[in-house]
Amino acid sequence: MVAQNIQKYIQNQLNRAPVLLRRYTEDKRGKPYVKRKAYTELQELVKSFLDGNTQVRMVAIPGLRGVGKTTILAQLYTELYPQFQERTLFISVDQIINLLNADLYTVLEEYQRLLGVSFEKLNSPIVLFIDEVHFDPKWQAVLKAVFDRSKQVFVFCTGSSALSLQSTPDLARRILFKTLYPLDFSEYLQLKRSYSPDAVFFSSSESEFNDHIQQQLRTALFESDGVIEVHSSLQNLQQATQKRSLSIEEFDIEQYLQYGSMPFTLGVQPELSYSLMNELIDRVIEKDLATVHSLSQETLQKVKNILLMVAASDAVSFTSMAKNLSDISLNTLIDVFDAFEHAEMLLRIYPYGSATKKMRKPSKFTFMSPAIRYTLLSTVDGARAFDQYKGKYLEDVVGLTLHKLFKEQVYYDSAKGGADFIVQSGKKKMVIEVGFGKKGIKQVEETMKKIDARYGLLISEQPMQLFQEKNILSVPLDQFLLLG
CATH of the domain at 11: 3.40.50.300
Range of the domain at 340: 213-481
pLDDT at 202: 46
The answer to the question of residue 186 being in a domain is: no
> 170 with 250, same domain?
no
Q: Is residue 165 a contact partner of residue 292, using CB atoms and an 8 Å limit?
A: yes
pLDDT at 45: 97
The answer to the question of residue 198 being in a domain is: no
Q: What mean pLDDT is predicted for residues 152-160?
A: 95
> 411 with 315, same domain?
yes
> 475 exposed, middle or buried (CB, 10 Å; 0-12, 13-18, 19+)?
buried
Domain closes at, from 126, 155, 177: 177
The answer to the question of residue 19 being in a domain is: yes
pLDDT at 69: 96
The answer to the question of residue 194 being in a domain is: no
Mean pLDDT score across all residues of the chain: 90
Distance CA 269, CA 195 (A): 13
pLDDT at 235: 92
In three-state secondary structure terms, 316 is strand
- The domain total for the chain is 2
> 161 with 242, same domain?
no
348-404 pLDDT, tens digit each: 999 999 888 888 899 999 999 999 999 999 999 998 999 999 999 999 999 999 999
> 121 with 220, same domain?
no
> 274 with 395, same domain?
yes
Compute the chain's Rg from CA coordinates: 24
The answer to the question of residue 197 being in a domain is: no
> 228 with 149, same domain?
no
**Cα 410 to chain centroid, rounded:** 17
159-216 pLDDT, tens digit each: 987 777 667 788 888 999 999 999 999 899 888 877 665 444 444 445 655 778 889 9
pTM exceeds 0.95: no
Neighbours of 188 (CB within 10 A): 23
Residues forming a β-bridge with 430:
423, 455
> 145 with 235, same domain?
no
Q: Is residue 456 a contact partner of residue 478, using CB atoms and an 8 Å limit?
A: no
The answer to the question of residue 373 being in a domain is: yes
20-29, 205-214, 475-484 — which is least confidently predicted? 205-214
pLDDT at 132: 93
274-323 pLDDT, tens digit each: 999 999 999 999 888 876 777 888 999 999 999 999 999 989 999 999 98
Helix (H) or strand (E) holding 466: strand 465-467
> 120 with 241, same domain?
no
- 464: which residues sit within 8 A by CB, 6+ positions away? 231, 234, 235, 238, 473, 474, 475, 476, 479
> 244 with 388, same domain?
yes
**Cα 50 to chain centroid, rounded:** 28
Residues forming a β-bridge with 367:
346
> 365 with 474, same domain?
yes
The answer to the question of residue 189 being in a domain is: no
Q: What does the DSSP assignment read for 63-109?
A: --TTSSHHHHHHHHHHHHHHHHGGGEEEEEHHHHHHTS---HHHHHH
96-105, 142-151, 290-299, 404-413 — which is least confidently predicted? 290-299
> 255 with 150, same domain?
no
Cα→Cα distances 151→49, 57, 86, 154, 169, Å: 9, 8, 18, 8, 20
Selected residue with higher pLDDT from 238 and 418: 418
Q: What mean pLDDT is predicted for residues 249-258?
A: 91
> 291 with 411, same domain?
yes
The answer to the question of residue 51 being in a domain is: yes
Distance CA 27, CA 199 (A): 12
Cα→Cα distances 116→87, 88, 109, 256, 338, Å: 12, 14, 11, 50, 46
